[in-house]
């Protein structure tokens, strides 16, 4: 009797344990977290959403064994086995059974999947792009099933991002179904199966309006030298002469699946890629590449030389330039052709630019003219470039209008040296230089461009703002000690409501490499005098106008990193604005810019890109004393008499208290 009871209790406990284990297994079925997100599948209208326990169009997972998942469809109240293979973080492929209403075991249900069952592919909709397996610089022939289009050759060009390629198809007049077209490929996934390599990407062109038309699958192989002696598999198409000398063979799917791609020789479209003839390369001049990093004055763009000084990379440093651009943007940029109107926007735009030195036109120790091959996004072509050495740490650049032909780049139709704008570049840490024109000056006629209203105002109605905070330490320790407790500011926005009236300019008096602009805050005696200090980095003279690069020693977080001061004489000869101080009371007209040294006349009011403009008049050297502090003759006589009296009393006091004088005997002769 006891044994029967024990047996019953044991059976009950064992059954409960099995149920608990089964329940835990069902509850514990989770899909990999890396699969979470929205996926595209050809033929499915809505995105397929995967989370930790569900696939939106398959149901809930309640048990799994490796890559086999037992799914329960809540809507149809049926079960299916789904075998999912992760080819890449952006690609899932699966096979599945029909949905059955009986709850069979996972093993028995998955046995219903046959070897020839249809393979479905899912592509992540917001997948991160990956580097393409082959680069640009190729020509190719292609076949859409009506014959090989061999002439003219089509081309593949690299884009700025290594995850994109630009395919330019040319029509062959003797081959049906060929046409001229431009397609941009964004690579999203690569993987290998046996000897085959696969690629999934988005193809953007003018007719692609949905993911069904954008997603394409490719199978490719890299051709080796031994392939010329190898026999192709039975059933493959005959090898053409181009196949023997090819670099890559590629087959593309005709829809948004990878079905039917078993060989790079068979597909909806096949391509044979060959390396294009190498374009000539040159090196940028040594005086230009001594420093590999250059910046615009406002630090909005960085110019970086690399690849053995053959390539210049221009990067935007104020906005991120990620590769996650929208499809519309990709499709539009692929078809754009740059014209003269795009020349300036090319250098000032938001996208990164790669410029490869292609041909040197003229080179000296201070000037270089060359042709560069540019790539911006997926646009490319040639442009003429002029570099000027202004100092060891200051250069300037002019660029021409982009063109598709190298020989046209530096012709007068595409490059006009007299009208092309200048781009001023400085090194990361430019050297300090002595400022020109040591002395003291009065400031008058200040006009300022209100950056918020984009127009100039007279100082009487809108006083110049010299606002900022002491956010940077001084490079010159002597100047720091002489600065004392003065309120140091820089050109910027009026953050604390203090409007300032610019009064004087002091050059080289506190330190040889500094300029001080002084102003009284609202002309009020109870408010401190504000000093705006700039450190000089060298300059040059061009057509009678002097240009000086400076750094504000104190600036707000929104203030400029560098300033270019342009000045010329308006009341005297040009000699008065040489390296020495201006002669007499000649007036010098100043203008400043925070992005580049503009060639607007320095004698005009603040130009479109200038921060402010003003006149200065020489008031004397640093060591000269102003008339307000000179002593009258009578006061000078009284001061002299007082000094004589103090000296007599001092020596008398020494005689009385000195032991040597008071106690020693001096023999009398």
Same domain, 435 and 377: no
Q: Quick one: pLDDT at residue 232?
A: 36
Which among 604, 599, 592, 615 has a CA at the least distance from the CA of 534?
A: 592
Which among 344, 398, 346 has a CA at the least distance from the CA of 367?
A: 398
Residue 414 CA to residue 331 CA, distance in Å, equals 27
Which among 486, 598, 500 has a CA at the least distance from the CA of 533?
A: 486
Residue 199 CA to residue 187 CA, distance in Å, equals 7
Q: Quick one: pLDDT at residue 429?
A: 87
Same domain, 416 and 436: no
Same domain, 298 and 421: yes
Considering only 326-335, 348-357, 370-379, 526-535, which range has the smallest mean pLDDT?
326-335
Q: Can you say whether the dihedral through the CA atoms of 600, 601, 602, 605 is positive or negative?
A: negative
Residue 435 CA to residue 426 CA, distance in Å, equals 17
Same domain, 299 and 263: no
Same domain, 58 and 151: no
Evaluate if residue 498 carries a pLDDT over 50. no
Same domain, 198 and 79: no
Tell me if 472 is assigned to some domain. Answer: no
Give the residue, 242 or 384, on which the prediction is more confident. 384
Kindly report the average pLDDT of the chain as a whole number: 76
Domain that holds residue 552: 431-450+501-570+586-599+608-621
What is the pTM (predicted TM-score) of this model? 0.70
Length of the chain equals: 669
Distances (CA, A) of 189 to 131, 173, 199: 9, 35, 6
Same domain, 387 and 305: yes
Q: What residues form DSSP beta bridges with 270?
A: 143, 251
pLDDT single digits (tens) 654-663: 565 555 444 4
Residue 564 CA to residue 549 CA, distance in Å, equals 5
Q: Quick one: pLDDT at residue 624?
A: 53
pLDDT single digits (tens) 44-53: 999 999 999 9
**Using 50, 70 and 90 to split pLDDT, how confident is the model at 22?**
very low
3-state secondary structure of 246: coil
Same domain, 421 and 435: no
Write the CATH number for 354.
2.40.128
Q: Quick one: pLDDT at residue 487?
A: 46
Same domain, 163 and 99: no
**Using 50, 70 and 90 to split pLDDT, how confident is the model at 586?**
low
pLDDT single digits (tens) 453-462: 433 333 332 3
Evaluate if residue 70 carries a pLDDT over 70. yes
Distances (CA, A) of 505 to 405, 517, 527, 530, 590: 51, 5, 19, 12, 11
Same domain, 270 and 361: no
Same domain, 52 and 32: yes
Decide which of 96, 124, 152 is a domain's last residue: 124
Q: Which residues have CB under 8 Å from 258's CB, separation 6+?
A: 93, 119, 121, 198, 200, 217, 219
Same domain, 34 and 153: no
Q: Quick one: pLDDT at residue 610?
A: 64
Q: Are 490 and 474 in contact (CB under 8 A)?
A: no
Q: How far is CA 459 from the centre of its chain?
A: 37
Tell me if 579 is assigned to some domain. Answer: no
- 142-156 mean pLDDT: 94
pLDDT single digits (tens) 602-645: 444 444 456 678 888 888 888 754 444 444 555 556 556 666 66
Neighbours of 150 (CB within 10 A): 18
Give the residue, 260 or 664, on which the prediction is more confident. 260
Tell me if 535 is assigned to some domain. Answer: yes
Residue 351 CA to residue 277 CA, distance in Å, equals 28
Considering only 323-332, 350-359, 526-535, which range has the smallest mean pLDDT?
323-332
Pairing relationship of beta strands 37-41 and 120-124 according to DSSP bridges: antiparallel
Considering only 123-132, 515-524, 561-570, which range has the smallest mean pLDDT?
515-524
Number of domains in the chain: 4
Residue 293 CA to residue 434 CA, distance in Å, equals 24
pLDDT single digits (tens) 166-185: 999 999 999 998 999 999 99
Tell me if 329 is assigned to some domain. Answer: no
Q: Quick one: pLDDT at residue 661?
A: 41
Give the residue, 590 or 286, on which the prediction is more confident. 286
Tell me if 559 is assigned to some domain. Answer: yes
Tell me if 305 is assigned to some domain. Answer: yes
Tell me if 327 is assigned to some domain. Answer: no
Tell me if 116 is assigned to some domain. Answer: yes
3-state secondary structure of 137: coil
Q: What percent of the chain has pLDDT over 90?
A: 44
Evaluate if residue 149 carries a pLDDT over 70. yes
- 570-591 mean pLDDT: 53
Q: Quick one: pLDDT at residue 581?
A: 42
């Amino acid at each position: 009797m006891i044994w029967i009871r024990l047996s019953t209790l044991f059976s009950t406990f064992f059954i409960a344990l099995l149920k608990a284990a089964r329940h835990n297994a069902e509850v514990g079925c989770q899909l990999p977290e890396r699969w979470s997100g929205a996926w595209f599948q050809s033929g499915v209208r809505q995105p397929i959403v995967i989370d930790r326990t569900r696939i939106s169009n398959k149901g809930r997972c309640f048990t799994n064994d490796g890559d086999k998942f037992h799914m329960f469809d809540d809507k149809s109240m049926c079960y299916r086995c789904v075998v999912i293979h992760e080819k890449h973080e952006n690609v899932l492929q699966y096979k599945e059974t029909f949905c059955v209403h009986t709850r069979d075991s996972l093993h028995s249900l998955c046995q219903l999947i046959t070897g020839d069952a249809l393979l479905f592919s899912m592509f992540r909709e917001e997948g991160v792009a990956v580097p393409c397996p082959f680069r640009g610089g190729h020509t190719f022939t292609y076949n859409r099933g009506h014959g090989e289009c061999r002439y003219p050759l089509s081309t593949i060009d690299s884009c700025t991002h290594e995850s994109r390629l630009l395919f330019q198809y040319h029509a062959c007049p003797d081959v049906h179904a060929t046409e001229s077209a431009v397609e941009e490929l964004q690579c999203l996934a690569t993987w290998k199966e046996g000897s085959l390599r696969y690629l999934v990407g988005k193809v953007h062109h003018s007719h692609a309006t949905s993911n069904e038309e954008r997603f394409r699958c490719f199978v490719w192989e890299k051709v080796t030298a031994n392939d010329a002696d190898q026999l192709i598999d039975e059933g493959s198409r005959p090898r053409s002469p181009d196949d023997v000398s090819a670099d890559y063979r590629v087959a593309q799917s005709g829809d948004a699946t990878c079905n039917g791609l078993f060989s790079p020789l068979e597909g909806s479209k096949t391509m044979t890629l060959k390396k294009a003839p190498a374009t000539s390369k040159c090196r940028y001049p040594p005086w230009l590449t001594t420093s590999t990093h250059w910046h615009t004055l406002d630090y909005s763009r960085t110019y970086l030389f690399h690849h053995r000084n053959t390539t210049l990379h221009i990067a935007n440093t104020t906005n991120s330039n990620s590769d996650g651009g929208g499809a519309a943007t990709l499709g539009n940029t692929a078809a754009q052709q740059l014209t003269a109107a795009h020349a300036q926007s090319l250098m000032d735009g938001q996208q990164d630019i790669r410029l490869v030195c292609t041909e040197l036109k003229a080179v000296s120790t201070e000037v270089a003219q060359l042709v560069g091959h540019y790539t911006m996004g997926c646009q490319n072509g040639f442009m003429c470039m002029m570099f000027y050495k202004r100092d060891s740490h200051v250069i300037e650049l002019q660029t021409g209008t982009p063109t598709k032909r190298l020989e046209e780049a530096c012709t007068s139709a595409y490059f006009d040296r007299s009208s092309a704008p200048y781009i001023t570049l400085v090194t990361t840490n430019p050297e300090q230089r002595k400022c020109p024109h040591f002395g003291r000056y009065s400031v008058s006629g200040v006009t300022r461009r209100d950056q918020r209203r984009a127009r100039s105002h007279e100082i009487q109605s809108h006083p110049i703002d010299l606002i900022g905070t002491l956010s940077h330490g001084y490079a010159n320790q002597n100047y720091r000690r002489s600065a004392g407790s003065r309120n140091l500011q820089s050109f910027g926005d009026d953050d604390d409501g203090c409007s300032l009236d610019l009064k004087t300019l002091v050059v080289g008096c506190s330190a040889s490499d500094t300029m001080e602009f002084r102003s009284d805050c609202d002309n009020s005696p109870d408010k401190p005098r504000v000093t705006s200090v700039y450190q000089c980095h060298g300059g040059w003279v061009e057509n009678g106008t002097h240009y000086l690069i400076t750094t504000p020693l104190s600036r707000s977080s929104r203030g400029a990193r560098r300033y270019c001061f342009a000045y010329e004489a308006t009341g005297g000869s040009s000699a008065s604005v040489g390296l020495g101080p201006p002669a007499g009371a000649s007036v010098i007209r100043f203008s400043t810019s925070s992005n580049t040294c503009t060639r607007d006349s320095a004698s005009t009011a603040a130009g479109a890109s200038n921060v402010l403009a003003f006149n200065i008049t020489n008031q004397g050297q640093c060591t000269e004393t102003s008339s307000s502090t000179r002593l009258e003759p009578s006061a000078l006589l009284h001061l002299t008499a007082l000094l004589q009296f103090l000296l007599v009393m001092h020596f008398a006091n020494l005689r009385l208290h000195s032991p040597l004088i008071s106690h020693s005997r001096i023999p009398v002769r």
